[in-house]
């Protein structure tokens, strides 16, 4: 048998790719070998084609490498638990040179050129230089290329650099995954095909990191920014003992930052828009979790917390799922016992404290917006422990490479204000949500509880304004400070509105004779809250920061848009203030719609709620509005059985939704809680899912109906159906099961009542919400 050369088993690192391919080709057979094969035809020589690429570990050990066959990790490295690194070969073609510092300076004179550029891509191309205050990073500075970072070698990404910018994560010394030997080879191949182990090169990666620390980290500081920059910039490079960040956490950071990077960068990465980029980067991070690539519980909690910013029409509740995962892993590492873990180093305790309070922040902002129950209550955490304060972020004031120290300090104070608000929201959200949680005991204690909570909110507002606004001595606050403080105020006013609506519901469920003065006072406070939210959103648009709103802001815009639309439709007269508020809110929602897939669920709720409201124009002021209390779907004989207190004066005129709340509280609450429950469940709900007390006519109070309880089955006593139309027994309390259509006095054919319960029924004027209906309404009002 012919001898096999050693070169058939080894990969020569000095040979080029073409030379190794040539060596791997079969050689011409010699006459002697030809004779041997003729003499013994059964004997065959199987020559192994040598691999044209091997990992660095196998090259060093001079053993055969199958990384080309196996994919991300060769068999040797997988069995030994070693990192499998494959270096790219030098290409004969030259890479197009990047722009010179002079060219960049000519293109944008405000861009600081920190260091000279290089023409080749390397895993680490950063050089640390002292931060300069001469070129502050402005929130509104958006250019066609990534924003420069003090301490970075700046290069504008181009097609030539991005083409081979998809490099293995192992090139970055600041990333870690732990042991991967437990993952089957087939799973590795699948993750490799999905791009989970590849990251952009530094020019693109720099922009993602900057946008993350600009727009996400200030109000969710799960990482120590100073420590991260030390890892990212290469301090402690090649040090195996140096602290590293999890690949799962870093992937989640790229996902949440993808909403704020430039469009050019998004397209250079192969995505057509921010929606596609968010969806793809979310899936890559999720796959790392699903395939158990990460074993560190802290890293899992950090990454899951960032994935709570994802929501889609197919998975409307996935954000709550990720929040639950984050809280569970944080509790598994005893993060909630940070104040009792004296045996741990201070750095570890501080890391756990950051993580736990970030979980609390997300567990307040998310449920308040989508009207869901909280997961961290006073039963599983003592809120009297030392909270997260400005002092815990003090180490980042001088180490941030995105904000100056004064702006960073003010952002830390906004964060502290959010923490204090989150503590108050613990009791408010536990009381208000879920909506169907009313019982007799809670109703009896409701007045004292709500008064205490409202007083706490007012005290918080006074202290927070003095803490944040008075501390900013600059004539014009930093745009980021205005943005995050405005968002904090939106959370505050939304909490006040939710508390007032809960009180209105309790009044309808408990009071045999509702107090009109109390209802009007609550209505005035809701009106003030909606007006303040609209004002703040309008200021975001004017200040050109509305494009940086987080995905959670979508849910907070829903009710103000609906109520402002009702106001304009009810008057049909031009109101400059309300027109402006609605137009600006509509513009902010459009910006969110372009970036967040979850916005479509909220927009569908807005669309159906607006289309379901029928309000007669108040221009006919002399028209009798007794139909506001009388359902247009019922006969005169049936309405005669109702108490006379349900009928309004014929001179009553609808001026805005506040008039509806005072005169028809249940009609307003049906609309408001339909929006709340729809946002909570991720789909538009029908009247059968509302609290039972809201299905009664306004003005009717039965003794057995004081406290709302779950709906009885459809075939309970007093109900029957004929040809799909529900018949009501005269002795049964008057339930409004036709309330998928919110009629505030409009005309509707009674024949349409039965058609509303057909599966193919569509609400009037129902169409996909694009904001056009708001613009059409405003144009119509402008012509009046």
Number of H-type helices and E-type strands within the chain: 28, 8
Distance CA 130, CA 694 (A): 63
Residue 333 makes CB contacts below 8 A (sequence gap 6+) with: 297, 298, 301, 352
Residue 292 makes CB contacts below 8 A (sequence gap 6+) with: 182, 183
Distance CA 52, CA 68 (A): 8
Task: Confirm whether pTM is higher than 0.85.
Answer: no
Give the pLDDT confidence of 207-235 residue by residue, as tens digits.
999 999 999 999 999 999 999 999 998 75
Distance CA 687, CA 676 (A): 12
pLDDT value, residue 107: 36
- The beta-carbon contacts of 231-239 under 8 Å, at least 24 apart in sequence, are 231/173, 231/174, 232/126, 232/174, 233/126, 233/128, 233/151, 233/152, 234/124, 234/126, 234/128, 234/173, 234/174, 235/128, 237/124, 237/173, 238/173
Distance CA 684, CA 666 (A): 19
DSSP 167: E
Distance CA 419, CA 463 (A): 13
CB of 376 closer than 8 Å to CB of 327: yes
- Least confident range from 256-265, 547-556, 559-568, 697-706: namely 697-706
Give the pLDDT confidence of 234-266 residue by residue, as tens digits.
754 555 556 889 999 999 999 999 999 999 999
Distance CA 205, CA 254 (A): 8
pLDDT value, residue 699: 53
What backbone torsions phi and psi does residue 722 show, to the nearest 5 degrees?
A: -135, 115
CB of 133 closer than 8 Å to CB of 190: no
Does the N-terminal peptide bond of residue 434 adopt cis geometry, omega within 30 degrees of 0?
yes
Asked whether the predicted pLDDT for residue 727 surpasses 60, the reply is no
CB of 407 closer than 8 Å to CB of 478: yes
3-state SS assignment for residue 743: strand
pLDDT value, residue 280: 96
Task: Find where tokens 């006593």 sit.
Answer: 717
CB of 390 closer than 8 Å to CB of 416: yes
Residue 485 makes CB contacts below 8 A (sequence gap 6+) with: 414, 417, 468, 469, 477
Distance CA 660, CA 237 (A): 66
- Least confident range from 279-288, 349-358, 594-603, 722-731: namely 722-731
From 676, 697, 743, 763, select the one nearest 370 (Cα to Cα).
Answer: 676
Give the pLDDT confidence of 430-461 residue by residue, as tens digits.
999 887 666 666 667 778 888 999 999 999 99
Q: Quick one: pLDDT band at residue 355, thresholds 50, 70, 90?
A: very high
Distance CA 153, CA 118 (A): 8
Distance CA 271, CA 402 (A): 26
pLDDT value, residue 32: 47
Average pLDDT over residues 480-493: 96
Distance CA 595, CA 577 (A): 28
CB of 356 closer than 8 Å to CB of 336: yes
CA distances to 79, 168, 271, 582, 666 from 658, rounded to whole Å, are 70, 59, 46, 17, 12
CB of 691 closer than 8 Å to CB of 652: no
CB of 375 closer than 8 Å to CB of 361: no
Give the pLDDT confidence of 316-346 residue by residue, as tens digits.
999 999 999 999 999 999 999 999 888 889 9
The chain-wide mean pLDDT, for the chain, equals 73
In the chain, what is the straight-line distance between the N-terminal and C-terminal CA atoms, in Å?
Answer: 100
The residues facing 685 across adjacent strands are: none
DSSP 132: -
Asked whether the predicted pLDDT for residue 391 surpasses 90, the reply is yes
Q: Quick one: pLDDT band at residue 122, thresholds 50, 70, 90?
A: very low
Q: 412-439: buried (b, 16+ CB within 10 Å) or exposed (e) per residue? A: bbbbbbbbbbbbbbbbbbebbbebeebe
Average pLDDT over residues 351-355: 96
Distance CA 776, CA 530 (A): 22
CA distances to 196, 201, 569, 681 from 169, rounded to whole Å, are 9, 10, 56, 38
Average pLDDT over residues 121-147: 38
Q: What is the DSSP string of 376-440?
A: S-TTT--TTS----GGGGGGGTTT-SSS-HHHHHHHHHHHHHHHHHHHHHHHHHHHH-STT---H
The continuous run of DSSP H or E covering 287 comes out as helix 274-290
From 246, 267, 251, 146, select the one nearest 202 (Cα to Cα).
Answer: 146
Distance CA 120, CA 203 (A): 11
Distance CA 530, CA 498 (A): 11
Q: Quick one: pLDDT band at residue 751, thresholds 50, 70, 90?
A: very low
Give the pLDDT confidence of 575-631 residue by residue, as tens digits.
677 888 889 999 999 999 999 998 888 888 998 888 887 665 543 333 322 322 332
Q: What is the DSSP string of 17-39?
A: HHHHHHHTSPPPPPHHHHHHHHH
pLDDT value, residue 686: 83
pLDDT value, residue 774: 62
């Amino acid at each position: 048998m012919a001898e096999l050369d050693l070169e058939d088993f080894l990969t020569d690192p000095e040979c080029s790719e073409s030379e190794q391919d040539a060596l791997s080709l079969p050689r011409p057979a010699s006459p002697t070998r030809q004779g041997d094969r003729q003499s013994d035809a059964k004997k065959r020589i199987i020559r192994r084609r040598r691999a044209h690429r091997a990992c660095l570990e196998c090259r060093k050990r001079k053993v055969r490498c199958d990384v080309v066959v196996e994919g991300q990790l060769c068999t040797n490295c997988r069995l030994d638990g070693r990192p499998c690194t494959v270096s790219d070969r030098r290409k004969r073609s030259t890479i197009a040179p990047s722009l010179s510092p002079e060219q960049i300076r000519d293109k944008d004179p405000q861009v600081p050129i920190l260091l000279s550029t290089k023409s080749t891509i390397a895993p680490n191309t950063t050089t640390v230089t002292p931060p300069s205050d001469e070129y502050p990073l402005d929130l509104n500075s958006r250019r066609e290329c990534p924003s420069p970072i003090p301490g970075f070698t700046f290069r504008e990404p181009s097609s030539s650099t991005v083409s081979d910018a998809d490099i293995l994560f192992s090139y970055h010394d600041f990333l870690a995954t732990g042991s991967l030997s437990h993952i089957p080879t087939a799973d590795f191949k699948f993750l490799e095909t999905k791009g989970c182990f590849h990251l952009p090169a530094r020019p693109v990666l720099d922009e993602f990191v900057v946008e993350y620390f600009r727009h996400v980290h200030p109000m969710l500081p799960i990482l120590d920014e100073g420590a991260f920059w030390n890892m990212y910039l290469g301090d402690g490079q090649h040090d195996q003992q140096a602290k590293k960040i999890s690949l799962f956490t870093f992937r989640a950071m790229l996902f949440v930052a993808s909403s704020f990077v430039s469009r050019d960068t998004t397209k250079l990465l192969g995505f057509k828009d921010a929606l596609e980029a968010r969806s793809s980067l979310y899936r890559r991070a999720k796959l790392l979790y699903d395939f158990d690539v990460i074993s560190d519980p802290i890293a899992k909690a950090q990454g899951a917390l960032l994935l709570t910013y994802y929501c889609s029409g197919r998975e409307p509740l996935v954000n709550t799922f990720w929040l639950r995962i984050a809280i569970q892993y944080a509790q598994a590492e005893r993060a909630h016992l940070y104040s009792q873990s004296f045996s741990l180093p201070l750095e570890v305790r501080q890391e756990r404290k950051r993580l736990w309070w970030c979980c609390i922040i997300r567990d307040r902002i998310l449920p308040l917006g989508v009207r869901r129950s909280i997961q961290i209550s006073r039963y599983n955490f003592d809120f009297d422990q030392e909270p997260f304060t400005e002092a815990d972020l003090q180490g980042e004031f001088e180490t941030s490479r995105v904000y100056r120290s004064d702006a960073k300090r003010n952002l830390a104070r906004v964060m502290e204000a959010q923490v204090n608000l989150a503590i108050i929201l613990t009791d408010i959200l536990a009381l208000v949500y879920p909506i169907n949680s009313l019982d007799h005991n809670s109703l009896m204690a409701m007045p004292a509880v709500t008064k205490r909570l409202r007083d706490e909110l007012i005290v918080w507002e006074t202290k927070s304004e003095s803490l944040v606004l008075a501390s900013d001595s600059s004539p014009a606050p930093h745009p980021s400070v205005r943005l995050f403080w405005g968002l904090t105020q939106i959370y505050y006013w939304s909490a006040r509105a939710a508390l007032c609506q809960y009180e209105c519901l309790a009044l309808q469920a408990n009071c045999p004779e509702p107090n009109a003065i109390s209802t009007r006072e609550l209505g005035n406070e809701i009106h003030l809250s909606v007006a303040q939210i609209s004002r703040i959103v309008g200021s975001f648009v004017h200040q050109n920061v509305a494009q940086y709103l987080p995905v959670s802001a979508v849910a907070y815009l829903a009710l103000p848009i609906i109520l402002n639309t009702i106001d304009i439709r009810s008057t049909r007269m031009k109101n400059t203030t309300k027109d402006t508020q609605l137009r600006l809110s509509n513009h902010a929602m459009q910006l969110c719609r372009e970036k967040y897939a979850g916005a479509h669920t909220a927009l569908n709720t807005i669309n159906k709620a607006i289309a379901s409201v029928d309000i007669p124009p108040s221009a006919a002021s002399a028209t009798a509005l007794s139909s506001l209390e009388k359902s247009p779907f019922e006969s005169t004989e049936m309405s005669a059985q109702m108490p006379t207190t349900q009928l309004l004066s014929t001179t009553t005129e609808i001026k805005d939704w506040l008039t509806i709340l005072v005169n028809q509280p249940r009609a307003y609450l049906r609309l408001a809680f339909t929006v709340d429950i729809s946002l909570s469940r991720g789909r538009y709900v029908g009247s059968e899912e509302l609290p039972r007390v809201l299905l009664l006519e306004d003005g009717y109070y039965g003794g057995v109906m004081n406290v709302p309880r779950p709906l009885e089955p459809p075939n309970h006593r007093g109900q029957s159906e004929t040809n799909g139309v529900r018949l009501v027994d005269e002795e049964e309390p008057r339930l409004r099961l036709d309330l998928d259509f919110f009629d505030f006095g409009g005309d509707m054919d009674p024949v349409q009542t039965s058609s509303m319960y057909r599966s193919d029924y569509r609400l009037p004027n129902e169409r996909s919400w694009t904001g056009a209906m708001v613009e059409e309404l405003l144009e119509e009002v402008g012509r009046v």
